[in-house]
Structure 1
Amino acid sequence: MMKAWVRKLWARRRGARGQSMVEFLVMLPVLLIMMSGLIEFGFLLNYYLDIIDAARDGARFAANVDPLEPDQTPPQLNCTTTTYFYRLVPCVVTQALTPQITLDPARDDLVISAFSIGGGVVTARFPDADG
Protein backbone atom coordinates (compact mmCIF):
# COMPACT_ATOMS: atom_id res chain seq x y z
CA MET A 1 0.00 0.00 0.00
CA MET A 2 2.77 2.38 0.89
CA LYS A 3 4.63 1.56 -2.33
CA ALA A 4 1.61 2.40 -4.46
CA TRP A 5 1.16 5.73 -2.69
CA VAL A 6 4.84 6.67 -3.20
CA ARG A 7 4.64 5.68 -6.89
CA LYS A 8 1.52 7.80 -7.36
CA LEU A 9 3.14 10.79 -5.62
CA TRP A 10 6.33 10.40 -7.67
CA ALA A 11 4.32 10.32 -10.92
CA ARG A 12 2.63 13.59 -9.94
CA ARG A 13 5.95 15.27 -9.09
CA ARG A 14 7.56 14.20 -12.35
CA GLY A 15 4.90 16.12 -14.33
CA ALA A 16 5.31 19.20 -12.11
CA ARG A 17 9.06 19.41 -12.75
CA GLY A 18 8.59 21.10 -16.12
CA GLN A 19 6.06 23.51 -14.67
CA SER A 20 8.55 24.76 -12.08
CA MET A 21 11.16 25.35 -14.78
CA VAL A 22 8.71 27.37 -16.89
CA GLU A 23 7.66 29.47 -13.88
CA PHE A 24 11.29 30.13 -13.05
CA LEU A 25 12.09 31.19 -16.62
CA VAL A 26 9.07 33.51 -16.69
CA MET A 27 10.16 35.20 -13.46
CA LEU A 28 13.89 35.33 -14.30
CA PRO A 29 13.78 38.66 -16.23
CA VAL A 30 11.86 40.29 -13.40
CA LEU A 31 14.37 39.03 -10.84
CA LEU A 32 17.31 40.22 -12.97
CA ILE A 33 15.78 43.70 -13.38
CA MET A 34 15.17 43.93 -9.64
CA MET A 35 18.73 42.80 -8.90
CA SER A 36 20.27 45.30 -11.33
CA GLY A 37 18.12 48.07 -9.82
CA LEU A 38 19.34 47.14 -6.37
CA ILE A 39 22.96 47.23 -7.53
CA GLU A 40 22.47 50.64 -9.20
CA PHE A 41 20.89 51.98 -6.02
CA GLY A 42 23.93 50.76 -4.09
CA PHE A 43 26.24 52.68 -6.44
CA LEU A 44 24.08 55.80 -6.08
CA LEU A 45 24.14 55.54 -2.30
CA ASN A 46 27.92 55.09 -2.36
CA TYR A 47 28.37 58.27 -4.46
CA TYR A 48 26.04 60.16 -2.15
CA LEU A 49 28.04 59.11 0.90
CA ASP A 50 31.31 60.07 -0.86
CA ILE A 51 29.94 63.57 -1.56
CA ILE A 52 28.80 63.99 2.04
CA ASP A 53 32.21 62.85 3.35
CA ALA A 54 34.01 65.27 1.01
CA ALA A 55 31.79 68.17 2.14
CA ARG A 56 32.46 67.23 5.76
CA ASP A 57 36.23 67.13 5.14
CA GLY A 58 36.07 70.54 3.46
CA ALA A 59 34.07 72.01 6.35
CA ARG A 60 36.50 70.61 8.93
CA PHE A 61 39.43 72.05 7.02
CA ALA A 62 37.69 75.42 6.50
CA ALA A 63 36.97 75.72 10.23
CA ASN A 64 40.73 76.07 10.85
CA VAL A 65 41.52 78.58 8.07
CA ASP A 66 40.91 82.35 8.16
CA PRO A 67 38.46 83.37 5.40
CA LEU A 68 39.41 87.05 5.76
CA GLU A 69 43.06 86.56 4.80
CA PRO A 70 43.73 88.38 1.49
CA ASP A 71 44.59 86.51 -1.71
CA GLN A 72 48.34 86.52 -2.36
CA THR A 73 48.55 83.80 -5.00
CA PRO A 74 48.27 84.06 -8.79
CA PRO A 75 44.72 83.89 -10.17
CA GLN A 76 45.04 80.38 -11.63
CA LEU A 77 44.02 77.55 -9.33
CA ASN A 78 47.00 75.53 -8.15
CA CYS A 79 46.19 73.31 -5.20
CA THR A 80 49.83 72.86 -4.18
CA THR A 81 50.78 76.54 -3.87
CA THR A 82 47.61 78.41 -2.94
CA THR A 83 46.93 79.62 0.58
CA TYR A 84 43.76 81.56 -0.22
CA PHE A 85 40.72 80.27 1.67
CA TYR A 86 38.31 80.32 -1.28
CA ARG A 87 40.72 78.40 -3.50
CA LEU A 88 42.13 76.06 -0.87
CA VAL A 89 38.82 74.65 0.43
CA PRO A 90 37.64 73.50 -3.05
CA CYS A 91 41.04 71.83 -3.47
CA VAL A 92 40.48 69.85 -0.28
CA VAL A 93 36.96 68.84 -1.34
CA THR A 94 38.12 67.86 -4.84
CA GLN A 95 40.95 65.76 -3.41
CA ALA A 96 38.49 64.00 -1.11
CA LEU A 97 36.23 63.21 -4.09
CA THR A 98 38.99 62.18 -6.51
CA PRO A 99 39.05 58.38 -6.09
CA GLN A 100 35.34 57.91 -6.86
CA ILE A 101 33.93 61.10 -8.38
CA THR A 102 35.58 63.43 -10.89
CA LEU A 103 34.28 66.97 -11.29
CA ASP A 104 34.17 68.70 -14.67
CA PRO A 105 35.30 72.33 -14.16
CA ALA A 106 33.13 73.47 -17.09
CA ARG A 107 29.90 72.12 -15.57
CA ASP A 108 30.45 71.59 -11.84
CA ASP A 109 30.85 74.32 -9.22
CA LEU A 110 31.97 74.18 -5.62
CA VAL A 111 30.47 77.14 -3.76
CA ILE A 112 32.25 78.21 -0.57
CA SER A 113 30.58 80.74 1.74
CA ALA A 114 31.65 82.04 5.14
CA PHE A 115 29.44 84.01 7.52
CA SER A 116 30.43 86.37 10.31
CA ILE A 117 27.96 86.22 13.19
CA GLY A 118 27.84 88.69 16.06
CA GLY A 119 25.15 88.61 18.76
CA GLY A 120 23.10 86.00 16.92
CA VAL A 121 22.81 88.19 13.78
CA VAL A 122 24.74 87.73 10.54
CA THR A 123 26.90 90.86 10.23
CA ALA A 124 28.87 90.02 7.09
CA ARG A 125 28.97 87.43 4.33
CA PHE A 126 32.15 86.37 2.58
CA PRO A 127 32.73 86.46 -0.35
CA ASP A 128 30.70 89.64 -0.75
CA ALA A 129 28.67 90.62 -3.82
CA ASP A 130 31.84 91.69 -5.69
CA GLY A 131 33.39 88.24 -5.35
Structure 2
Amino acid sequence: MTGSRIGKNPNIEPKRLRRNGQSMVEFAITLPIIILLFTGMVEFGFMLNTYLSVQDAVRATARRFSTVNPSLDENDGNADLLFFDNAAEYAIDLLAPAGDPQSRQIVLEDGRDNILISLIGVEVDEDTDPVSVVSVTRHSEGEYYRYFDQESSTNPPTAYSDSSIEAFLTANGAEPSDSGLLIVEIYYGYEGTLNLPWTQPFFSPDDPAMLYVSAVMPTIYTKPLDQAIP
Protein backbone atom coordinates (compact mmCIF):
# COMPACT_ATOMS: atom_id res chain seq x y z
CA MET A 1 0.00 0.00 0.00
CA THR A 2 1.43 3.25 -1.00
CA GLY A 3 0.63 6.62 0.56
CA SER A 4 -0.58 9.57 -1.39
CA ARG A 5 0.38 13.21 -0.97
CA ILE A 6 -2.16 15.94 -1.25
CA GLY A 7 -0.63 19.00 -2.78
CA LYS A 8 -1.76 22.60 -2.27
CA ASN A 9 -4.62 23.74 -4.40
CA PRO A 10 -3.23 26.63 -6.44
CA ASN A 11 -6.69 28.29 -6.53
CA ILE A 12 -7.07 28.67 -2.73
CA GLU A 13 -4.52 31.47 -2.16
CA PRO A 14 -5.84 33.80 -4.90
CA LYS A 15 -9.40 33.38 -3.57
CA ARG A 16 -8.25 34.30 -0.06
CA LEU A 17 -6.47 37.36 -1.40
CA ARG A 18 -9.57 38.39 -3.33
CA ARG A 19 -11.72 38.09 -0.20
CA ASN A 20 -9.26 40.15 1.83
CA GLY A 21 -9.13 42.79 -0.86
CA GLN A 22 -12.92 42.93 -1.05
CA SER A 23 -13.16 43.40 2.73
CA MET A 24 -10.67 46.26 2.61
CA VAL A 25 -12.65 47.99 -0.14
CA GLU A 26 -15.92 47.58 1.79
CA PHE A 27 -14.29 48.93 4.95
CA ALA A 28 -12.86 51.91 3.07
CA ILE A 29 -16.33 52.71 1.69
CA THR A 30 -18.19 52.40 5.00
CA LEU A 31 -15.58 54.06 7.24
CA PRO A 32 -16.43 57.66 6.21
CA ILE A 33 -20.12 56.97 6.78
CA ILE A 34 -19.40 55.54 10.23
CA ILE A 35 -17.26 58.58 11.08
CA LEU A 36 -20.00 60.96 9.90
CA LEU A 37 -22.65 59.19 11.98
CA PHE A 38 -20.46 58.93 15.07
CA THR A 39 -19.26 62.53 15.06
CA GLY A 40 -22.80 63.70 14.31
CA MET A 41 -24.11 61.87 17.37
CA VAL A 42 -21.28 63.28 19.50
CA GLU A 43 -21.98 66.83 18.30
CA PHE A 44 -25.71 66.40 18.92
CA GLY A 45 -24.87 65.16 22.42
CA PHE A 46 -22.82 68.31 23.07
CA MET A 47 -25.71 70.47 21.84
CA LEU A 48 -28.23 68.60 24.00
CA ASN A 49 -25.96 68.98 27.02
CA THR A 50 -25.71 72.72 26.33
CA TYR A 51 -29.49 73.00 26.03
CA LEU A 52 -29.99 71.21 29.35
CA SER A 53 -27.42 73.46 31.03
CA VAL A 54 -29.22 76.57 29.77
CA GLN A 55 -32.53 75.08 30.86
CA ASP A 56 -31.19 74.45 34.37
CA ALA A 57 -29.92 78.04 34.59
CA VAL A 58 -33.25 79.48 33.45
CA ARG A 59 -35.25 77.40 35.91
CA ALA A 60 -32.90 78.14 38.81
CA THR A 61 -33.05 81.88 38.08
CA ALA A 62 -36.85 81.88 37.88
CA ARG A 63 -37.14 79.94 41.15
CA ARG A 64 -34.63 82.15 42.94
CA PHE A 65 -36.02 85.53 41.92
CA SER A 66 -39.70 84.64 42.15
CA THR A 67 -39.18 85.02 45.91
CA VAL A 68 -37.34 88.35 45.67
CA ASN A 69 -39.26 91.59 46.13
CA PRO A 70 -38.83 93.60 42.89
CA SER A 71 -39.64 96.88 44.68
CA LEU A 72 -42.42 98.09 42.40
CA ASP A 73 -42.51 101.85 41.94
CA GLU A 74 -45.55 103.47 43.54
CA ASN A 75 -46.08 105.78 40.56
CA ASP A 76 -45.61 103.69 37.41
CA GLY A 77 -45.65 100.20 38.94
CA ASN A 78 -42.35 99.26 37.32
CA ALA A 79 -39.89 97.02 39.10
CA ASP A 80 -36.50 98.30 40.17
CA LEU A 81 -34.02 97.88 37.30
CA LEU A 82 -31.57 96.37 39.78
CA PHE A 83 -33.95 93.44 40.22
CA PHE A 84 -33.73 92.57 36.52
CA ASP A 85 -29.97 93.14 36.37
CA ASN A 86 -29.37 90.89 39.37
CA ALA A 87 -31.55 88.13 37.92
CA ALA A 88 -29.74 88.26 34.57
CA GLU A 89 -26.31 88.28 36.22
CA TYR A 90 -27.36 85.31 38.35
CA ALA A 91 -28.22 83.32 35.21
CA ILE A 92 -24.98 84.36 33.52
CA ASP A 93 -22.94 83.19 36.51
CA LEU A 94 -24.72 79.84 36.47
CA LEU A 95 -23.82 79.40 32.80
CA ALA A 96 -20.23 80.62 33.14
CA PRO A 97 -19.18 80.52 36.81
CA ALA A 98 -16.67 83.30 37.40
CA GLY A 99 -15.42 81.59 40.54
CA ASP A 100 -14.72 78.33 38.72
CA PRO A 101 -12.96 79.10 35.42
CA GLN A 102 -12.06 75.41 35.00
CA SER A 103 -15.73 74.45 34.68
CA ARG A 104 -17.62 74.56 31.42
CA GLN A 105 -18.24 78.14 30.33
CA ILE A 106 -21.39 78.92 28.34
CA VAL A 107 -20.85 82.58 27.53
CA LEU A 108 -23.67 84.70 26.12
CA GLU A 109 -22.58 86.89 23.23
CA ASP A 110 -23.85 90.44 22.82
CA GLY A 111 -25.53 90.94 19.47
CA ARG A 112 -26.61 87.31 19.19
CA ASP A 113 -27.74 85.94 22.56
CA ASN A 114 -29.94 87.48 25.20
CA ILE A 115 -31.75 87.10 28.51
CA LEU A 116 -35.34 88.32 28.62
CA ILE A 117 -37.20 88.78 31.89
CA SER A 118 -40.89 89.60 32.23
CA LEU A 119 -42.58 90.52 35.50
CA ILE A 120 -46.32 90.28 35.03
CA GLY A 121 -49.54 90.72 36.97
CA VAL A 122 -52.73 89.10 35.66
CA GLU A 123 -56.15 90.24 36.85
CA VAL A 124 -59.30 88.24 36.19
CA ASP A 125 -63.02 88.90 36.48
CA GLU A 126 -64.51 86.18 38.65
CA ASP A 127 -68.05 87.43 38.07
CA THR A 128 -68.07 86.24 34.46
CA ASP A 129 -68.81 82.70 33.38
CA PRO A 130 -66.35 81.41 32.50
CA VAL A 131 -63.85 83.47 34.47
CA SER A 132 -62.04 85.80 32.06
CA VAL A 133 -58.74 87.64 32.07
CA VAL A 134 -59.31 91.38 32.46
CA SER A 135 -55.77 92.72 32.19
CA VAL A 136 -52.14 91.70 31.83
CA THR A 137 -49.83 94.26 33.43
CA ARG A 138 -46.11 94.27 32.72
CA HIS A 139 -43.97 95.74 35.47
CA SER A 140 -41.00 96.98 33.44
CA GLU A 141 -40.14 100.05 31.38
CA GLY A 142 -40.90 98.17 28.18
CA GLU A 143 -42.89 95.02 27.58
CA TYR A 144 -40.00 93.08 29.06
CA TYR A 145 -36.40 93.47 30.21
CA ARG A 146 -33.50 92.67 27.86
CA TYR A 147 -30.02 92.11 29.23
CA PHE A 148 -28.42 93.02 25.91
CA ASP A 149 -30.19 96.08 24.57
CA GLN A 150 -30.78 94.84 21.06
CA GLU A 151 -33.04 92.70 18.92
CA SER A 152 -32.17 90.85 15.74
CA SER A 153 -33.42 88.09 13.49
CA THR A 154 -31.50 85.58 15.58
CA ASN A 155 -32.71 87.12 18.82
CA PRO A 156 -36.46 87.71 18.57
CA PRO A 157 -38.60 89.32 21.27
CA THR A 158 -40.34 87.50 24.10
CA ALA A 159 -42.48 84.52 23.18
CA TYR A 160 -44.97 85.49 25.91
CA SER A 161 -47.43 87.96 24.47
CA ASP A 162 -50.55 88.93 26.42
CA SER A 163 -52.62 86.43 24.45
CA SER A 164 -50.12 83.61 25.02
CA ILE A 165 -50.12 84.32 28.76
CA GLU A 166 -53.90 84.10 28.81
CA ALA A 167 -53.68 80.83 26.86
CA PHE A 168 -51.07 79.58 29.35
CA LEU A 169 -53.36 80.29 32.32
CA THR A 170 -56.37 78.63 30.68
CA ALA A 171 -54.57 75.62 29.21
CA ASN A 172 -56.44 72.30 29.42
CA GLY A 173 -59.62 74.03 30.54
CA ALA A 174 -58.07 75.54 33.68
CA GLU A 175 -59.87 78.46 35.31
CA PRO A 176 -57.58 81.51 35.56
CA SER A 177 -57.14 83.48 38.75
CA ASP A 178 -55.36 86.64 39.79
CA SER A 179 -51.69 85.81 39.31
CA GLY A 180 -48.20 87.19 39.50
CA LEU A 181 -45.69 85.69 37.08
CA LEU A 182 -41.95 85.87 36.60
CA ILE A 183 -40.82 84.69 33.17
CA VAL A 184 -37.17 84.12 32.30
CA GLU A 185 -36.12 83.40 28.70
CA ILE A 186 -32.70 82.80 27.18
CA TYR A 187 -31.67 82.77 23.54
CA TYR A 188 -28.28 81.15 23.00
CA GLY A 189 -26.47 80.48 19.73
CA TYR A 190 -24.78 77.07 19.81
CA GLU A 191 -21.68 77.28 17.62
CA GLY A 192 -20.71 73.62 17.79
CA THR A 193 -17.97 71.90 19.74
CA LEU A 194 -16.15 69.65 17.29
CA ASN A 195 -16.28 72.23 14.47
CA LEU A 196 -15.71 69.62 11.79
CA PRO A 197 -16.29 70.52 8.13
CA TRP A 198 -19.33 68.25 7.85
CA THR A 199 -21.00 69.61 11.02
CA GLN A 200 -20.59 73.30 10.14
CA PRO A 201 -23.61 73.40 7.79
CA PHE A 202 -25.71 72.76 10.91
CA PHE A 203 -23.91 74.93 13.49
CA SER A 204 -20.80 77.07 13.29
CA PRO A 205 -19.58 80.40 14.70
CA ASP A 206 -20.87 82.10 11.55
CA ASP A 207 -24.23 80.31 11.57
CA PRO A 208 -25.06 79.02 15.08
CA ALA A 209 -28.09 76.95 15.97
CA MET A 210 -30.30 79.14 18.17
CA LEU A 211 -31.43 77.46 21.38
CA TYR A 212 -34.42 78.88 23.23
CA VAL A 213 -35.39 78.06 26.81
CA SER A 214 -37.96 79.65 29.12
CA ALA A 215 -39.36 79.16 32.60
CA VAL A 216 -42.45 80.58 34.29
CA MET A 217 -42.76 80.88 38.06
CA PRO A 218 -45.52 82.39 40.21
CA THR A 219 -44.61 85.37 42.36
CA ILE A 220 -46.72 87.08 45.02
CA TYR A 221 -45.13 90.46 44.37
CA THR A 222 -47.00 91.23 41.15
CA LYS A 223 -50.23 89.43 41.97
CA PRO A 224 -53.10 91.96 41.98
CA LEU A 225 -54.07 92.53 45.61
CA ASP A 226 -55.99 95.09 47.63
CA GLN A 227 -52.78 95.99 49.43
CA ALA A 228 -49.12 95.72 48.57
CA ILE A 229 -46.93 92.91 49.84
CA PRO A 230 -44.47 94.31 52.42
| In 2: Cα distance, 1:16 partner to 1:90 partner | 64
Q: Are 1:124 and 2:127 counterparts?
A: no
Q: Which residue of 1 aligns with 2:86?
A: 88
Separation in 1, partners of 2:56, 2:122: 26
SS at match of 1:102: coil
Higher helix share: 1
Counterparts of 2:84 and 2:21 in 1: how far apart (Å)? 68
Aligned residue number for residue 107 of structure 2: 102
AA at the equivalent of 1:41: F
When the two chains are superposed, the root-mean-square deviation of aligned CA atoms in Å is 2.8
Aligned partners of 1:47 and 1:100 also within 8 Å: no
Q: Could you tell which deviates more after superposition, 87-96 or 102-111?
A: 102-111
Change (3 A) 1:123 1:36: closer
Q: Is the 8 A contact 2:123 2:136 kept in 1?
A: yes
Q: 1:40 to 1:124 in 2, by over 3 A?
A: same
1:23 paired with 2:19, answer no
2:94 is paired with a residue whose SS is: helix
Counterpart CA distance in 2 for 1:54 and 1:29 is: 37
1:57 maps to 2:60: yes
Q: Retained in 1: the 8 A contact 2:72–2:139?
A: no
For residues 42 and 126 of structure 1, the distance between their equivalents in structure 2, rounded to whole angstroms, comes to 38
**RCO comparison, higher one (Cα < 8 Å, 6+):** 2
Which amino acid letter does the alignment assign opposite residue 138 of structure 2? R
Whether 2:116 is the aligned partner of 1:111: answer: yes
Counterpart-to-counterpart distance in 2, 1:108 and 1:31: 34
Letter of the aligned partner of 1:96 in structure 2?
L
C-alpha displacement at 1:123, in angstroms? 4.2
Show structure 2 runs of 5+ residues with no match: 1-5, 74-80, 97-103, 125-131, 146-230
1:36 lines up with 2:49 in the alignment: no
- Count of aligned pairs: 113
- Which residues of structure 1 form unaligned runs of 5+? 71-82
Confirm or deny: 8 A CA contact 1:114 1:127 kept in the other structure: yes
SS at the partner of 1:101? coil
Alignment partner, residue 75 of structure 1: none
Structure 1 stretch displaced more, 119-128 or 17-26: 119-128
Q: What TM-score does the superposition give when structure 2 sets the normalisation length?
A: 0.43
Q: Distance in 2 between matches of 1:90 and 1:37?
A: 33
CA contact 1:58–1:93 (8 Å) conserved in 2: yes
Q: Contact 2:120 / 2:138 at 8 angstroms: preserved in 1? A: yes
